[in-house]
Amino acid sequence: MSDITQLTSPLLSNRPAISIINGHVIDPANQVDKKVNIHLQHGKIVALGDAPENFVAQRVIDASEQIICPGLIDLRFHLRESGYETKGSIASETKAAAAGGVTALCCPPDTDPIIDNPAMVKLIRLKAETEGAAKIYTLSALTQQLKGEKLSEMRKLKDAGCVGTSNALHPVKSTLVMRRALEYAASHDITVFIQAFDPWLSDGCAHEGAVSTRLGLAGIPISAETIAIARDLQLIELTGAKAHFCQLSSAKAVQLIHQAQEDGLPVTADVTAHHLHLTEMDIGYFDSNCHVIPPLRTQRDQDALRRGLKSGVISNIVSDHQPHGSDAKLAPFAETEAGISGVETLLPLALKMIDDQVMPLSDVIARLTSQPAETLGLKEGTLSIGSDADICIFDPEAYWVVDREKFLSQGQNTPFHSWELKGKVNYTFKSGEMVFSSQ
């Protein structure tokens, strides 16, 4: 990465000195939750409270009535570049991220070409540095070409900058290969990100339940998720690998992860913002914007996901951002592409947990900042002195109506269109550079 560092360091020294005053700072990693001023220079946070001596602010931002928190870290964000630029580019989708208060995102390896060689990692990181409005981290492919047969060069890929490894939406069918992959990852202290579903039980497009029965849609049972989690938990116990389970969708999945954590296994998990708010009922009469994988399940599952988030069994909220062109959703439900363009609604949907679940604001922020940083092993996600000035400033009381036409993402595929949400991002800084302003 030395080439990239060389590119960025001269830029950082040009970043202006900024003081953000009168705002309420929430920095869960340092247990800061108070009204305090914050000062940035050369792309770093230089002080909380009084400005350092000789600090001359080139710009002062009045953040009265606003929350200042670390820039959000989105653990699951599908970059369409490279391979699917008609759906979204690094430039367009990181701009959307910035508008959502996200300053760092992690993309799974299922780009085209697949991220299973160091050159791809460098290419994406370089493009992120030159065109991106957010930092981009990548997961390496767990197996070559995601085929589930041969191990990828995951150590080389780690050295090239990958923050973990994953077989994305291609479950490793062979338990032997999965065992070896976990063992190999454990040898090099690489976290394995698992999207748990049984390939044979997942040949459907909606939760197998009342709605799929009514609409005649092929269902995906909850056991598709729990069988895969149960298998992989056994292998994690066997191999000692560190694992993160992506996008839990059912109450039973939360229960399994909880039990594993109780047993001392090194496992963490995340949930998407949309699984916290939608259920199978939202499909209504074939609303393809609610076609997601894993599928939206029942109210009971949604309640359990929320409880799991509150208790900390689930440590991250992700957007699982998947922008699509409009044609992708204009087909009979089963033929539409799964996924939601979610990054621009991530923060307000997460904040809704405060009103809905009596989860304190600082916990919600932690699930979006310090905890994903911990999962990815990043030093970001805090406002510590000396850390990168990745900052999100938002008005927690501002109501706004979601308008997909106004999305910065190329994907307008959202089931939240015309929802009124509370919590609006006003400024986003990435390494001291203002990458988004609502003004």
Partner 1 sequence: MISKNIQLDEQGRLKHFLSIEGFKRQHLVNILDAAEPFANVHEQAVKKVPILRGKTIVNLFFEASTRTRTTFELASKRLSADVLNININTSATSKGESLLDMLHNLEAMHCDMFIVRHNQSGAAHLIAQHVSPHISVINAGDGCHSHPSQAMLDMFTIRRHKKEFADLTVVIVGDILHSRVARSQIHALNTLGVTEVRVVGPKTLIPTQIKTLGVHVYHDMQTALVGADVIIMLRLQKERMQGALLPSEDEYYHQYGLTEQKLSYAKPDAIVMHPGPINRGVEIASSIADGPQSVILEQVTNGIAIRMAVMSQTLGRSSGGNS
Residues tagged active-site: 320
Shortest Å distance, C-beta 117 to partner 1: 32
Shortest Å distance, C-beta 315 to partner 1: 30
Shortest Å distance, C-beta 218 to partner 1: 8
State both tokens at 191: 């976290």
Distance CA 34, CA 244 (A): 32
Pick the closer one to partner 1 by CB: 119 or 218.
218
Pairing of strands 18-21, 38-41: antiparallel
Amino acid letter, 208 = E
State both tokens at 171: 């479950």
Pick the closer one to partner 1 by CB: 306 or 324.
324
Distance CA 250, CA 388 (A): 36
Nearest-Å Rg of the Cα atoms of the chain is 21
Pick the closer one to partner 1 by CB: 230 or 334.
334
- Map the footprint of partner 1 across residues 232-291, applying CB under 8 A: 281-287, 290
Shortest Å distance, C-beta 201 to partner 1: 12
- Map the footprint of partner 1 across residues 178-237, applying CB under 8 A: 208-210, 212-219, 221
Secondary structure percentages of the chain, helix, strand, coil, to 5: 35, 25, 40
Distance CA 429, CA 439 (A): 14
Interaction of residue 415 with partner 1, rule CB under 8 A: yes
Shortest Å distance, C-beta 284 to partner 1: 4
Total of chain residues touching partner 1, rule CB under 8 A: 29
Pick the closer one to partner 1 by CB: 223 or 362.
223
State both tokens at 55: 């600090």
The contact pattern for partner 1, residues 330-349, with x = CB under 8 A and - = no contact, is: xxxxxxx-------------
Distance CA 384, CA 46 (A): 9
Pick the closer one to partner 1 by CB: 301 or 388.
301
Distance CA 73, CA 76 (A): 9
**Closest among 345, 257, 268 to 304, alpha carbons compared:** 257
Q: Note the residue count of the chain.
A: 439
Site residues for partner 1 per CB under 8 A: 208-210, 212-219, 221, 281-287, 290, 327, 330-336, 415
